[in-house]
Amino acid sequence: MEIKAVIYDMDGVIIDSEPLWREAEILTFGKVGFTFTEDMCRETMGMRLFEVVEYWHNKTPWEGMTIKEVEKELLKTVTSLITKRGVALKGVKESLDFFKSKNYKIALASSSAMKLIITVINKLELVDYFDVINSAENLPYGKPHPEIFIKTAKELSELPVNCLVIEDSFNGLIAAKAALMKTIVVPDKESKNDTRFNIADFKLNSLLEIENLSFE
């Protein structure tokens, strides 16, 4: 099938935010006496913020702050960290320019809250690249369910099979595959040898390699 549209994930694809998410989670959960590690952060990569908080509350219930209060604190903390220290990942603008030059439609589909998405694309000056921007925060299902990708394809007026998804997490990759879309995965250095990513159509070290691919 001919590729006519590209759908980017945000965290770990467009912005180097995964380390900032880990820092925010460690700080936030520490406030309720929960010792949080970087390995634990990886368990919930690709999930929506409220799903992350509920996941850990179900595993290790805490007292004091409510789930909603922890959600708000986590969003506030990660937004602050990204505003101060967030940077684009290598090859982001080059890949966006490449797809624009090929007249592909371009979308952003993230599990992050829309407030955070807007913070990121404004900080990185990427707003004008995207034809559609979607958050899964208010959808019935988040990744690995394909709903956000199917919804985004519909808003792009394209069939899912004509869409290419760029992801960094296994949850996101499963969601894209379930939507019957072509996939590029760009894992971080800690995950690059994870054999589960072999189901992707393309596995890259960075977005700079996109220009060398053929999507026919």
Query: Residues 103-147: pLDDT tens digits?
Result: 999 999 999 999 999 999 999 999 999 999 999 998 999 999 999
Order of strands, sheet of 5-8, starting from the edge strand that comes earlier in the sequence = 132-135, 105-110, 5-8, 163-167, 182-185, 202-203
With a cut of 80, say whether residue 164 has pLDDT above it: yes
Mean of per-residue pLDDT scores for the chain: 93
Sign for the pseudo-dihedral over CA of 92, 5, 176, 73: positive
Catalytic status, residue 11? yes
The arithmetic mean of pLDDT across residues 27-45, rounded, is 86
pTM across the whole model: 0.87
In this prediction, residue 201 carries a pLDDT of 96
Span 84-98, pLDDT tens digits: 999 999 999 999 999
Instruction: Report the percentage of the chain scoring pLDDT > 70.
Output: 100
Q: How confident is the model at residue 19 (pLDDT cuts 50, 70, 90)?
A: confident
Query: What CATH class has 5-16+87-212?
Result: alpha beta
- Please measure the distance between the N-terminal and C-terminal CA atoms of the chain and give it in whole angstroms: 7
CATH number of 18-85: 1.10.150.240
Q: How many CB atoms within 10 Å of residue 186?
A: 26
In this prediction, residue 216 carries a pLDDT of 67
Domain parsing of the chain, residue ranges: 5-16+87-212, 18-85
- Cα separation, 108 vs 134, in Å, equals 6
C-alpha radius of gyration, the chain, whole number: 17
The arithmetic mean of pLDDT across residues 56-73, rounded, is 93
Q: How many CB atoms within 10 Å of residue 68?
A: 10
Token pair of 76, please? 């506030």
Q: Please give the residue that has the higher pLDDT: either 117 or 44.
A: 117
The candidate with the shortest Cα–Cα distance to 175, out of 143, 153, 198, 142, is: 143
Catalytic status, residue 9? yes
List 9, 128, 131, 168, catalytic entry: 9
The arithmetic mean of pLDDT across residues 166-184, rounded, is 96
18-85 shares the fold of 5-16+87-212 = no
